[in-house]
Amino acid sequence: MDWKYLLTSFEGRINRAKFWAGVGVLFAAGLLANLIDMMLGLQIAEGLGILGAIVGLVSIYLGIALYAKRWHDRDKSGWWTLIILIPLIGPIWLLVECGILEGTKGANRFGPDPLG
């Protein structure tokens, strides 16, 4: 798997398996950063450490790149990621569309089918 493409590119399509792999990597990185912060005493506020904050900020960019490719697989613009800003409904919609529903069959305007 090309992790650089998966986490940094805003072009192309990815299937659900790659999407969940990317989400898992981001989650694990955040967990590890917070664990290191706790072990080294690098807390800058209650529950927030220096390393965790940095990883969190970087993860915003990486997550948006991941979501954009998944939206592309659903034949929608990556701008649909902004739906997460709608309280309650937005995160649920994003989870269903990006994490549960299949992508479009065959090629679409964003590229060939990632499942071949």
Quick one: pLDDT band at residue 14, thresholds 50, 70, 90?
Answer: very high
Cα separation of 114 and 79, whole Å?
Answer: 20
Q: How many domains does the chain have?
A: 1
Quick one: pLDDT band at residue 48, thresholds 50, 70, 90?
Answer: confident
pLDDT at 43: 86
* In a domain? residue 28: yes
Q: Provide the terminal-to-terminal Cα distance of the chain, rounded to the nearest Å.
A: 15
Quick one: pLDDT band at residue 45, thresholds 50, 70, 90?
Answer: confident
* In a domain? residue 114: no
* In a domain? residue 74: yes
Amino acid at 116: G
* In a domain? residue 64: yes
* In a domain? residue 113: no
Q: Write the CB contacts of 23 (distance below 8 Å, at least 6 apart in sequence).
A: 63, 66, 99
Angstrom CA distances, 52 to 23, 30, 44, 60, 91, stand at 16, 6, 10, 12, 22
* In a domain? residue 12: yes
Least confident window among 17-21, 27-31, 41-45, 62-66: 41-45
Q: Which residues pair with 43 in a beta bridge?
A: 49
* In a domain? residue 105: no
Residue 80, domain extent: 3-100
Instruction: Locate 32 and state its tokens.
Output: 């590890």
